Structure 1
Amino acid sequence: MRLKGNLPFMKEINRRLILDTIRRKGSLSRADLAKETQLNPSTVTRITAELINEGFIREVGYADSQGGRKPILLNLVADAVHIIGINVETTEVIGVVSNLIGEVLYKITCPIKDTSKDGILQVITQTIQQLLDAANNDGRSIVGIGLAMHGLVDCDNGIALYPPAFGWKNLAIVSLLEEKFRIPVQLENNARAMALGEWWFGAGKDLSNFIAVKVGHGIGSGIFLNGEIFRGINFVAGELGHTTLLVDGPLCDCGNYGCLEALASTKALVKRAQRSLKEGVESQILTLAGSPEQVEPEHIFKAADNQDPLAIQLLQDMGRYLGIALANLVNLLNPTKIILGGDILPGLEHILPILQTTVHSRAMEIPAHKLIIEPIKLGVNAVSIGAVSLILEEFFSTKRPNLKKDLSIWKEKQT
């Protein structure tokens, strides 16, 4: 679309429009870019020359031609800038360095030993510093840091409001990290970050309406509506784990009873396995874990792979609860696709069939008819790449509210 308005803004927006069009469409000629963006050909020629000079795009060969001179193709320089993505889980911090097309260049994992505010800040800082050192040693400068955390976050003000596994509230983490590293930081909830990563590079790529559900110690979801992620007025949208499934169900960490999280999280899965083992039910889970107190989700997944009856039953119950919750979402939001990720990925083959059956039997026929339910494509890196996508979203943005800096400023951080 042709954009009009204040000249400096329009110039920068048009630069980003061209850059994002090349990112989405792949190699394009200048004439193709003019058609795709509806910009004047002379504007496209001028802007592409600037972007080539700045190292964001390059000429990569020639397109086929029906006659006359073959048009030169332009493509994105994936390593023009680099980004750090940080995923703060309940027991560890996972960090990656990525380029503009989501390729993971470096990855490290640091265990969380101290869950206090100072302890969490320290391990995040340690992870970022190690990634910066690795990138700088290889001549790669970092232009932004995306940070994904579990629980409630204030994206606008950069505050971790309440990560329940850590037990504290209100840490102004973005300002603290920006002050230390002098690099822009963006904060997001981990489930929404996972959805964003899948929209950029995974199973949700180019979809306008889908839901990504992250199942682990907690349960959250990232909701894409009409091509945009939905955060809600207080950035709390997507807290699927705290929707009530059983009125008189087990007590949830939030203080409510019968929440999905109290029934179908990996924490709930382990509790039910422990209870069965203590009641004397025979299972390979006990052999793998050593004692009921040492049971972890991977023991249950492994036992299910070995056709252990208790493990299979536990995972099927989990799938049934998740299916009921997702059927409610299908009726409410009518998505094209539901994508599943998180700590349940290793056991998903035992969960997915009953989950799909439950969704299709309980959701209304029309919204469920063509619904696709499948695993995430980015695997264990989904949230970290989602955190990277927070920076990419700003880097490629053509929306004025997100236009905090022009591309030349991004490039200056590389030198």
Structure 2
Amino acid sequence: MHGNTTKQLNKRKVLHYIQNNEGHSRSDIASALKISKPTVSNIVDELLEEGWIREKESEKASSSGGRKPFQISFNENATYIVGIDIGGTSVEIAILNLSGDVLGKTNLDTQANVDNDLIKQIADRVHHLLDESEFEMKQIMGVGIGVPGITDVDNGIVLDAPTVNWRDVPLKAEMEKLLHCPVYVDNDVNVAALGEWWKGAGKTDDNFLMITLGSGVGCGLIINGDLYRGATYAAGEIGYMVTDKNAAEKEYDQTFPGYGFLDSHVGGPSITKRMLRHLGEAEEKTEEWSAEKIFEMAMDGDATAKKVIEDFLSHLSYGLINVITIINPQQVILGGGVSRSLDHFLPHIIETIQKHLPIHTNISVTKVEDVSLIGAGYLLLKEHDSILKV
């Protein structure tokens, strides 16, 4: 048994090395990993046979002038992953290869399907996307899902997700029944942090926060190179943070039942609500007043929009000050739908933070497109016990 375990460990090491170092030869791998050449050669043969890697003759002769060595590269299309990001507004679904490239994408309206067996609707849409993109289910290694709420990762149970009205929903078990493959579930912000870790800030930093601004606000924490989930999977639930004691003591509108103070002051729907209130417009006009439109109007100098956005920026900045003080990250990355409107306002946020905080932290908006979908794919690679486990 021990020999087999060592062999599996070596096999995983070799595959990870090939994944991260393209175009090396068998002897390069043996020297880099300090594993004997015959062992590496046997492992490479197995990986070739299983389709995880490719080997082709180098274009250059070896330095000793002998025959050309064979270069080995990772086969990112050996198998595929489905990433699903369930948001309060829409559900995004993607097919990814093992390098995190998005090969096909679709979405559905969350609120229109909340009362219409949302889980089955999502599974049906996955099957439809696979058909459309000419993939078969047997080519799919598994599925990673980000959920807008507190999630028991070990058992795949959504404990509380207000925007989709889920409490104690066994999402993993239900999805596995419908999709017939391994499914892993985590909070949507943790999943976005994993996407940033795989393809963005995580390439350089081991301590960073991913703050997503969508229907509400959440925070994914990468601490010392690992995802921190907390004692009851509720780490980073900064939507419950209070950023104005006086306002919190009065009655305030919860954007969704169960949403916290900060959710209800920096989420997209809360920006819309406040704009409508300032204008004296009826709530039915919500569709006409997206957060994006209000940000644009503020940039163009509209006084009412500026007032609404300044209020948003104030709550967000003080929320960031509080969380940075506790975690001391190298950087904070802002993601989610609302973040797409933030570039223009970043200097204002940074200035407020610097006024109150002597600790330096880089603050930026994510540059990773589809960060949550990519992170959902990475969740599968991280949690599923396969040769690819990261």
Query: TM-score, normalised on structure 1?
Result: 0.84
CA distances 1:60-83 after superposition (whole Å, capped 9, x unpaired): 453675433354321111111101
| Alignment check: 8 A CA contact 2:162 2:259 kept | no
1:211 is matched with 209
Are 1:383 and 2:379 matched, yes or no?
no
What is the rounded CA distance, in whole Å, between the counterparts of 2:342 and 2:23 in structure 1? 37
Counterparts of 2:323 and 2:33, CA distance in 1: 36
**Cα offset for 1:308?**
2.6
Q: Contact 1:249 / 1:257 at 8 angstroms: preserved in 2?
A: no
- SS state at 1:143 partner: strand
Distance (Å, rounded) in 2 between the aligned partners of 1:252 and 1:291: 17
> Residue 100 of structure 1 aligns with which residue?
98
Match of 1:268, as an amino acid?
S
* 1:23 counterpart SS class: helix
Q: Structure 2 matches for 1:11-410, cutoff 5 A? A: 11-62=7-58, 65-69=62-66, 70-112=68-110, 113-116=112-115, 119-137=117-135, 141-250=139-248, 251=252, 253=254, 259-278=261-280, 291=285, 294-363=288-357, 365=358, 367-368=359-360, 371-379=361-369, 381-394=370-383, 403=385, 405=386
CA distance in 2, matches of 1:309, 1:46: 70
The answer as to whether partners of 1:247 and 1:258 remain within 8 angstroms in 2 is: no
Q: Deviation per CA, 1:210-267, whole angstroms, max 9, x where unpaired?
A: 1111011110111001110001121111111111212232536488998222222222
Q: What code does the residue aligned with 1:58 have?
A: R
Q: CA separation of 1:64/1:322 partners in 2, compared to 1, >3 Å: closer, same or farther?
A: farther
Q: 1:239 to 1:96 in 2, by over 3 A?
A: same
Distance 1:6 1:217, change over 3 A: same
Q: For 1:258 and 1:145, how far apart are their aligned partners in 2?
A: 30
Distance, in Å, in 1 between the alignment partners of 2:387 and 2:213 is: 38
Is the 2:162–2:257 contact (alpha carbons within 8 Å) kept by the matching residues of 1? no
Q: How big is the shift at 1:383?
A: 1.0
Preserved contact between residue 301 and residue 346 of structure 1 (Cα < 8 Å): no
More displaced 10-residue stretch of structure 1: 349-358 or 99-108: 349-358
Higher deviation after alignment, 149-158 or 8-17: 8-17
1:135: Cα distance to partner? 4.5
Superimposed CA distance per residue, residues 118-137 of structure 1 (whole angstroms, 9 cap, x where no aligned partner): 52212212222212323445
Moved more, 228-237 or 385-394: 385-394
Deviation at 1:20, TM superposition (A): 1.6
Compared CA separation, residues 60 and 376, structure 1 to 2 (3 A):
farther
Aligned residue identity for 1:312? K
Contact 1:316–1:350 (Cα < 8 Å) also in 2: no
In structure 1, the gaps of 5 or more residues are: 280-285, 395-401, 411-415
CA–CA distance in 2 between the matches of 1:78 and 1:181? 22
Q: Alignment partner of 1:106: what SS?
A: strand
> CA 1:184/1:372 → structure 2, altered by over 3 Å: closer, same or farther?
same
User: In structure 1, what is the Cα distance between the partners aligned to 2:189 and 2:131?
Assistant: 28
**Aligned-partner SS, 1:79:** coil
AA partner of residue 37 (structure 1): L
Give the equivalent residue in structure 2 for 1:283.
Answer: none
Deviates more, 1:55-64 or 1:383-392: 55-64
Say if 1:217 and 1:267, in contact at 8 Å, map to a contact too: yes
Question: Residues 248 and 293 (structure 1 numbering): CA distance in 2 closer, same or farther, change over 3 Å?
Answer: farther
RMSD: 2.8
Q: Give secondary structure in 1 for the equivalent of 2:379.
A: helix
Question: Once the 2 structures are TM-superposed, how far is the Cα of residue 317 of structure 1 from its aligned partner?
Answer: 3.0
Percent of aligned pairs with the same amino acid: 31
Query: Are the equivalent residues in 2 in contact too, given 1:315–1:351 (CA < 8 A)?
Result: no
Retained in 2: the 8 A contact 1:209–1:335? Answer: yes
1:25 offset after TM fit, Å? 3.0
Name whichever of 143-152 and 245-254 sits farther off: 245-254
Deviation sequence 1:306-360 (CA, Å, 0-9, x none): 3433323432332232222212222211111111110113311233111111222
Deviation at 1:21, TM superposition (A): 1.9
Displacement after TM superposition at 1:388 (Å) = 0.8
Counterparts in 2 of 1:231 and 1:67: CA distance versus 1, 3 Å:
same
Query: d(CA) in 2 for partners of 1:321 and 1:65?
Result: 61
Query: What is the CA distance between 1:156 and its match in structure 2?
Result: 0.7
Q: Quickly say closer, same or farther: Cα 1:7–1:292, change in 2 above 3 A.
A: closer
**2:211–2:332 Cα contact (<8 Å) kept:** yes
